[in-house]
Structure 1
Amino acid sequence: MRISRRKILHAMAAVPLAGVLPTLTRADVSLGSAEVTTVSDGNLMLPGSFIFDPMPKDELAAVLAEYGISSETLEPECNLTLYRDGKNTVLFDVGSGHDFMPSAGSVLDSLEAAGLAPEDITHVVFTHAHPDHIWGLLDDFDDLVFPEASYLMGRTEWDYWWNPETVNEIGDARAAFAVGARRRMEAIEDSVNLFDADQEILPGIASFSTPGHTPGHMSFEIRQGNSAAMVIGDAIGNHHVAFRKPQWLSGSDQDTEMAAATRKVLFDRLTNEDLTLIGFHLPDGGIGRAEKDGDGYRFVEEV
């Protein structure tokens, strides 16, 4: 049996955690003969200002009080979607790895708890290239964490982060995002498959353009017969203000106006088609539905 450097590193990292239960899968839903599960990559630790700065403070306070959310700090979950249809084992995004935040980067433990090794992943599909979605592509030796997988990314998103001018134009606060994305994309440059909107990228999985959070952010409809779900990445980035006030601009989005317009289109589709949604930063595994509630919406977890 060949033991890779990545396996050695992962084993060493697990030693101090002996006796601690691994992070488990969070939620699941069946779509025909296929199974969709979310696996945890831990959580982020963010200042509230990262999201809330552009929002009207008086109205914001009322929304946050309704949900018991602090305006000072946020600890959103990171839920990676795992799709299995008996032939393909598809992971949407790869998490943060060990370079972004100490509270994130645990997806390998979660996959192990689901009975999967990294080599079992046949495809990795990216919603976008922010750190918590792509930095987990490489281990500390710069080896691919999922060595047997094929990689797929939207063409617009790839072109944006691949552009050498992006690091100069994105702003100081996000410059490291651009450097980190480019370094990881270089590792799959010769093998990545690029796709456009409204394209079946794999059997039963179609792309749906949801720009704004990043220029080429993609969501994905997974459909098996009459059953369907939408993997939305960060197009709807939380279960509180993004649902209750989707028209508000969020500091987490790179193009705030476009992201707000995208949320309207996405909420209309989710509710009109009664689709199950899977959100990267939504609570308790991130699987549920959007229900109309007054002039906004409410996230209802899948039971």
Structure 2
Amino acid sequence: MRITRRNMLRGTAGLGASLAFGRVWAATEMDLGDLRITTLSDGHLQLPESFLIGDLPRDEARAILDAAGVAAGGYEPPCNVTLLRSGEDVVLFDAGAGPGFMDSTGRLPDALAALDLSPEDVTHVVFTHGHPDHLWGAIDDFDEPLFANARHLMGRVERDYWIDPETTETIGAERQSFAAGAARRIELLRDMLETFEEGDEVLPGVLARASFGHTPGHMSFEIGGGRALIAGDAIGNAHLAFARPDWPMPADQDPELAARTRLALLQELAERGVPLIGFHLPDGGVGRVEKGDKGYSFVPEV
């Protein structure tokens, strides 16, 4: 297995310009022989500190965040969309946030272009869950599927939760827009969206694993017979979630269940030494889990 991090320039040129200019995109790549995984940035979220700490013990939480270099007052986690290429398959795990969520997100099409890929080249979009930064990017500005040639796949439990009319009434005021947005986009995908169950091999070499708690039907994915794990938001950050995985995190819809899921995943990943790919983890989201005296730590691979 070889893991690298490289920069890619998406260049443009004006009339008469002698030099190209553009944005540099960082990509972390993992070569698994017959499979190649690349994490691409969809940008980053802009969140208040309360999104991290909530009702947690503030002094202890703040000490962990200070040690991790997270400044007080706000939080800007990265959004890492995973691209898997295997034979003719070009697979995205999650679709990013698209144009309608935050100004700091929605960069996935440019990141794909830096790899000389277009949305039309994508053959599959596999969702970990239905939150805005994972689902909303599947629909473009014109309410059309962005990845027009792709099969779209979501866990049945997760799909059913978001299309249930009662979800908007029960999810809580702070997440009502999430529910309405998810239901709308799932409806726009219509017959393009397929469902799967926990334990299904959704694609060759891609095994769905239930990791419920962050959302009711959140899924993670074992890649290549367990050679890597795409965890989505089951492990949602590289500081509090590792140092105190037993804490009920305010970002999770079912904090108690999510804590049990997170603790089990961290223990397994530390024991097996399997690379972890996390949507909101730093350095492209690729690293390993190490067990410490009191908790765990995230060690980036590059």
Deviation, 1:60, is 1.1
2:54 touches 2:250 (CA, 8 Å); kept in 1?
yes
Q: Which residue of 1 aligns with 2:203?
A: 202
Deviation, 1:32, is 2.0
1:217-264 Cα distance to aligned partner (Å, 9 max, x none)? 00000015xx71100000011111111111111110000000100001
| SS of residue in 2 equivalent to 1:290 | strand
Following the alignment from structure 1 to structure 2, what is the Cα–Cα distance between the partners of residues 25 and 73?
A: 24
Matches within 5 A, 1:177-256: 177-223=178-224, 228-256=227-255
Following the alignment from structure 1 to structure 2, what is the Cα–Cα distance between the partners of residues 33 and 137?
A: 27
1:301 is the counterpart of 2:300: yes
Q: Which residue of 2 aligns with 1:69?
A: 70
Q: What TM-score, normalized by structure 1, do the two folds share?
A: 0.91
Which ranges in structure 1 are unaligned for 5 or more consecutive residues?
A: 1-13
Q: Which residue of 2 aligns with 1:285?
A: 284
Deviation, 1:48, is 1.0
Q: Which residue of 1 aligns with 2:135?
A: 134
1:139-166 Cα distance to aligned partner (Å, 9 max, x none)? 1111111000001000100000010110
1:23 touches 1:109 (CA, 8 Å); kept in 2?
no
2:99 touches 2:137 (CA, 8 Å); kept in 1?
yes
Deviation, 1:190, is 1.6
| SS of residue in 2 equivalent to 1:285 | helix
Following the alignment from structure 1 to structure 2, what is the Cα–Cα distance between the partners of residues 287 and 20?
A: 29
C-alpha spacing 1:215/1:288, structure 2 compared with 1 (3 Å): same
Structure with bigger RCO (C-alpha 8 Å, 6+ apart): 1
Deviation, 1:42, is 0.4
Q: How many percent identity over aligned positions? A: 50
Following the alignment from structure 1 to structure 2, what is the Cα–Cα distance between the partners of residues 214 and 115?
A: 33
1:42-73 Cα distance to aligned partner (Å, 9 max, x none)? 00000010121121112112211211112310
Q: Which residue of 2 aligns with 1:107?
A: 108
1:171 is the counterpart of 2:172: yes
Following the alignment from structure 1 to structure 2, what is the Cα–Cα distance between the partners of residues 25 and 222?
A: 22
Deviation, 1:296, is 0.8
Following the alignment from structure 1 to structure 2, what is the Cα–Cα distance between the partners of residues 194 and 301?
A: 32
Equivalent residue letter for 1:200:
E
| SS of residue in 2 equivalent to 1:258 | helix
Deviation, 1:26, is 2.4
1:52-96 Cα distance to aligned partner (Å, 9 max, x none)? 112111211221121111231000000000000122110000001
Following the alignment from structure 1 to structure 2, what is the Cα–Cα distance between the partners of residues 23 and 144?
A: 27
Structure 1 runs (4+) greater than 3 angstroms displaced = none
Q: Which residue of 1 aligns with 2:6?
A: none
Deviation, 1:20, is 5.4
1:119-156 Cα distance to aligned partner (Å, 9 max, x none)? 11000000000000011111111111100000100010
2:35 touches 2:224 (CA, 8 Å); kept in 1?
no
Which ranges in structure 2 are unaligned for 5 or more consecutive residues?
A: 1-12
Following the alignment from structure 2 to structure 1, what is the Cα–Cα distance between the partners of residues 164 and 23?
A: 38
Following the alignment from structure 2 to structure 1, what is the Cα–Cα distance between the partners of residues 78 and 192?
A: 30
Q: Which residue of 2 aligns with 1:28?
A: 29
Equivalent residue letter for 1:255:
D
Moved more, 18-27 or 96-105: 18-27
Equivalent residue letter for 1:252:
A
